[in-house]
Chain A
Amino acid sequence: MSMGPHSGTAEQRVQLYEDRWSSYGDSTGLADLSERPTAKTLKAFDLFKEFDDEVLETLSQDISVAKWEAGAILFEEGSYLDLAFYIVEGSVSLFLQKHADAPPQPIYTTRMVTTPEGGGGATKMYDKTVFEEQIEAQKEHQAKDATKMTMLASMDFDLSKGEERTLGSGEIFGEIGALNGWPQSVTARTASDCTLVQIRLPALQQLKRKSKDFKAWTDRLYRERSLWQQLKTTPLFAGADDAFLSDLTQKVELVSCSPGEVVAQEGEATDALYLVRSGFLKVSQRLADEDVAMTYLSKGMTFGEAELLMDGLDAWQFTLTSVGYTELVRVERSDFARLVQRHPAVERHLWEAAVARIKETGATRQRPEKTDLIEFSLEKGLVQGNSILVMDLDVCTRCDDCVRGCASTHGGRPRFVREGDRYDNFLIARSCYHCEDPVCLIGCPTGAIRRANVGEVVEVDDSLCIGCSNCANKCPYDAIVMHETGETWPDTALPEWLRGKDRKVASKCDLCHTSDEGPACVTSCPHSCAFRISTLDEFQQLQAISGAQR
């Protein structure tokens, strides 16, 4: 059987694919790619000199040495990578591609997006940078809930419009996005023929854990390249002057936590304010000989402000535990004191956060079932979700109209399964959570899986998907399914291993985001038992009113 109507686009896009080492963008400029390097090969690079052969042997499976021709696009702005690039030879230029003033693209075109209302086929160029899109998303977020902060996270390079920056031998880039699961904020193009050591995420994490020097180096780069801008655009520090922030940027400590690591222990002396850069932390308190989860912290939230602001509270009132891999900014008590002394607006913001935390934990003490819900949500990843499909099984007649509604709006292929974890009488259906930090996006070789817009729905473009299953394997919630299309890849398909094989595509919930009617699973349910929730509070409200007026 021949390819379907998308074959042209698919082939064109597939030509851009090389392998996992050129995980996004055009690889026709890739001149040579090494096999798995030996420890001896790696030791030739400054980056790996301090490690012994045994460590390098472990790391080597996630490292490759690539030679690129001048003008090759290594990755594009907004793409998600699980790679960092260390420049051995040559130079790489970084620039903002999604802007009209961006340098011209002599060899390759930029990514195009299909406009939802375009009637199919209409395309437009991005007219905003990732940074600008994030600021808009933040404003919207703030408008909805003023007590919550959104921390800008994709600023691995703080470039202004039209600015181009060149990195040379001995420099590293892409590591901030890879380590934090953030989209790249710039496009990277080789300015000359280059030799690059390409390091995938598992090796990066090990390097950071095993080498203090490497950690210090990447932390320094982070401070230099993006921390100032990140702090400046965080609402907490919005009022602080530039000089103070520059000073703070040098003084704060960047803390990386492993799963289960205790950041602060209840009862111990409070010595700092923590700001969450990425990941989740459980806030618990010892009550009646057991640790009770009171709340959790996510990106952009602070912790320790109550203890530092209130007289007489010299010890942590809660225990703070990292749920997965977490990145924090640690502000020393003395710096904190200077901060609030010089900037009353910051102090006011912190007081609001402190009061909100006290209210929240007080509410949890009043509602013991919430602590269970927090534990459950942290364990099952619900806290990551922006839109979680929940079904009230007390009301659900198992008619499957939700599945049929979904299928009928997606060409007969449902995008979720009416199965999953159960919490009390609620089913958490196996449907995309549209995560805050979607790991499924990382490493997609063709950019087929992407956010419709920054901070919005995660969708799959069928025409770009080559069925590699990368996203499906990465999704921790089994929310992405590989579907047979009934087509076969043609003899001209690239990469060659696709030829003659059955064509599969990744399938996942897109929240019916192009429709004004909302998700079909919800609108098709005749018993009004299907809901989309985005916060634990909404879940609690649902528990309280389920079955009542819908």
Chain B
Amino acid sequence: MKPTVPKKAYRPRASRAAASGVLKTAGQTTKRSGATRWANTWVQSPNWFFGFWIVVALCLVIYTLNALFGQVHPGSAWGLSYGIAATILFVAVFLYALRRRLMKVRALGRSWVYLQVHVYGGALFLLLVFMHTGFQWPQGVLTWWLWALSIWVVGSGLLGIVLQKWLPTLLSSGLTTEVHYDRIPDLVSEIRRRAEALVEDADYAIRTFYRDDLAPSLTGPETHLAYYLGASDVNGRSRQFDALGAMLPAEERAKLSELREMVQTKQEIDAHYTLQKALRGWLLLHVPVSVVLIVLLGFHIFSVWYW
């Protein structure tokens, strides 16, 4: 498919009628306030959120009572129970991965529910692992690795949650275009092709500006950390365009303006590239280690029951 440069988002305009007070002002509307928007984005379901903390509190109460009447260690009845509960929870957490791979089976229900189990169940799993070990360092090599990998997996999962909650808001509120990650190289190529066609018969100053300053950045998608801070013009191109525009005749300014729009689109694509790469990249920290954890956990269970 031939790439088409993405369209800009429609932003509700500030109506003059609204500005004049004839209509109610935007601040009084039912649209979400910043705080509500933030809260809603981070806690999608209060039921799950508060339910999780209630279960955490219950677990801690049980553990405290348990610890008052005897020592908890992995080999004790209570310690073993916590271990079994953690394992069951781990299996439940793993179902999310299965759900994503079995999309064809419609009867499995909503993916969202599996993700809630994955997130809250994963956090609870770590708590149960700590309870299983009696909140102490593990003794053996295998159990130490299990303990460390559990922390790593849950920690990287939490990092993923942070990224998944934070970066989409940067992408949607800071940028006006929407871009498919896989199509980014094609889109950049298309912008470069159009830009080159535009400057071909443009003024010498524009051609020079394009060749020296713009062309290198149009060779492919670029990553800039500044996009994490919501920056839109990481190269300070606006000033360059303004300065050059002041020196050009009207018809050349139109070309420069078109070129500027292309560069702005490219910068938005770069922002998408940077942020979407992070949205995908964190999985490398999470998934492979989770697989190792599954294998080691299986070995741990086998060894406990065998010996």
Most interface-central of A373, A404, A520, A526 (chain B CB within 10 A): A526
A267 to chain B, nearest CB (A): 17
Binary flags per residue of B212-252, CB closer than 8 Å to A gives 1, else 0: 00000000000000000000000000000000000000000
- Please measure, in the bound complex, the distance between the C-alpha atom of A518 and the C-alpha atom of B264, giving whole angstroms: 39
Q: Are B17 and A368 in contact (CB under 8 A)?
A: yes
| Range, interface on chain B | 35 or more
- Please measure, in the bound complex, the distance between the C-alpha atom of A515 and the C-alpha atom of B106, giving whole angstroms: 8
User: Does B152 interact with chain A (Cβ within 8 Å)?
Assistant: no
User: Does B61 interact with chain A (Cβ within 8 Å)?
Assistant: no
User: Does B128 interact with chain A (Cβ within 8 Å)?
Assistant: no
Binary flags per residue of A488-511, CB closer than 8 Å to B gives 1, else 0: 000000000000000000000000
User: Does B76 interact with chain A (Cβ within 8 Å)?
Assistant: no
- The count of residues in chain A whose C-beta lies closer than 8 Å to any C-beta of chain B is 53
User: Does A421 interact with chain B (Cβ within 8 Å)?
Assistant: yes
Which residue of A is nearest B171, CB measured?
A393
Q: Are A526 and B111 in contact (CB under 8 A)?
A: yes
Q: Are B9 and A423 in contact (CB under 8 A)?
A: yes
Q: Quick one: which of A287, A376, A394, A543 contacts B31, CB cutoff 8 A?
A: A543
Q: Are A523 and B12 in contact (CB under 8 A)?
A: no
User: Does A419 interact with chain B (Cβ within 8 Å)?
Assistant: yes
Q: Are B15 and A546 in contact (CB under 8 A)?
A: no
User: Does A369 interact with chain B (Cβ within 8 Å)?
Assistant: yes
Question: Which chain B residues lie closer than 8 Å to A517 at the CB level?
Answer: 106-107, 109
Question: Which chain A residues lie closer than 8 Å to B17 at the CB level?
Answer: 287-288, 290, 292, 368, 371
User: Does A160 interact with chain B (Cβ within 8 Å)?
Assistant: no
- Please measure, in the bound complex, the distance between the C-alpha atom of A419 and the C-alpha atom of B171, giving whole angstroms: 14
Binary flags per residue of A328-367, CB closer than 8 Å to B gives 1, else 0: 0000000000000000000000000000000000000111
B125 to chain A, nearest CB (A): 18
- Please measure, in the bound complex, the distance between the C-alpha atom of A10 and the C-alpha atom of B8, giving whole angstroms: 42
B104 to chain A, nearest CB (A): 4
> Of B40-48, B64-72, B287-295, which stretch is located at the interface?
B40-48
Q: Are A394 and B168 in contact (CB under 8 A)?
A: yes
- Please measure, in the bound complex, the distance between the C-alpha atom of A376 and the C-alpha atom of B15, giving whole angstroms: 14
- Please measure, in the bound complex, the distance between the C-alpha atom of A523 and the C-alpha atom of B102, giving whole angstroms: 12
Q: Are A398 and B181 in contact (CB under 8 A)?
A: yes
Q: Quick one: which of B7, B16, B104 contacts A408, CB cutoff 8 A?
A: B104
Q: Are B16 and A393 in contact (CB under 8 A)?
A: no
Which residue of B is nearest A403, CB measured?
B180
Question: Which chain B residues lie closer than 8 Å to A368 at the CB level?
Answer: 15, 17-18, 23-26, 29
Q: Are B15 and A367 in contact (CB under 8 A)?
A: no
- Please measure, in the bound complex, the distance between the C-alpha atom of A408 and the C-alpha atom of B100, giving whole angstroms: 11
Q: Quick one: which of A365, A371, A395, A427 contacts B178, CB cutoff 8 A?
A: A427
- Please measure, in the bound complex, the distance between the C-alpha atom of A149 and the C-alpha atom of B28, giving whole angstroms: 32
Q: Quick one: which of B10, B20, B110 contacts A376, CB cutoff 8 A?
A: B10
Question: Which chain B residues lie closer than 8 Å to A544 at the CB level?
Answer: 30-32
- Whether A526 touches B180, Cβ cut-off 8 Å, given contacts A288-B20, A368-B29, A547-B40, is no
User: Does B114 interact with chain A (Cβ within 8 Å)?
Assistant: yes
Q: Quick one: which of A365, A424, A523, A550 contacts B24, CB cutoff 8 A?
A: A365
User: Does A265 interact with chain B (Cβ within 8 Å)?
Assistant: no
Q: Are A520 and B40 in contact (CB under 8 A)?
A: no
User: Does B130 interact with chain A (Cβ within 8 Å)?
Assistant: no
Question: Which chain A residues lie closer than 8 Å to B104 at the CB level?
Answer: 408-409
Q: Are A398 and B276 in contact (CB under 8 A)?
A: yes
User: Does A117 interact with chain B (Cβ within 8 Å)?
Assistant: no
A363 to chain B, nearest CB (A): 10
Q: Are A520 and B106 in contact (CB under 8 A)?
A: yes
Question: Which chain A residues lie closer than 8 Å to B13 at the CB level?
Answer: 372
Which residue of B is nearest A405, CB measured?
B103
- Please measure, in the bound complex, the distance between the C-alpha atom of A233 and the C-alpha atom of B15, giving whole angstroms: 41
User: Does A256 interact with chain B (Cβ within 8 Å)?
Assistant: no
User: Does A527 interact with chain B (Cβ within 8 Å)?
Assistant: yes
Question: Which chain A residues lie closer than 8 Å to B28 at the CB level?
Answer: 366
Question: Which chain B residues lie closer than 8 Å to A376 at the CB level?
Answer: 10
User: Does A211 interact with chain B (Cβ within 8 Å)?
Assistant: no
User: Does B37 interact with chain A (Cβ within 8 Å)?
Assistant: yes
Q: Are A290 and B15 in contact (CB under 8 A)?
A: yes
Q: Are B111 and A525 in contact (CB under 8 A)?
A: yes
Binary flags per residue of B89-133, CB closer than 8 Å to A gives 1, else 0: 000000010001001101101111011000000000000000000
Q: Are B15 and A549 in contact (CB under 8 A)?
A: no
Q: List 30 A-B contacts (CB under 8 A).
A: A288-B17, A290-B16, A292-B23, A366-B23, A366-B29, A368-B26, A369-B26, A371-B23, A372-B13, A397-B168, A398-B168, A398-B181, A399-B279, A405-B111, A421-B7, A423-B12, A424-B11, A425-B173, A517-B109, A523-B110, A526-B112, A526-B114, A527-B112, A528-B44, A543-B32, A546-B32, A546-B40, A547-B41, A548-B36, A549-B44
Q: A394-B172, A396-B168 are in contact. List 20 more A-B contacts (CB 8 A).
A: A288-B19, A365-B22, A368-B24, A369-B12, A372-B12, A394-B41, A394-B169, A394-B173, A395-B41, A397-B168, A401-B111, A405-B111, A408-B104, A409-B104, A422-B176, A425-B173, A520-B106, A523-B109, A527-B115, A544-B32
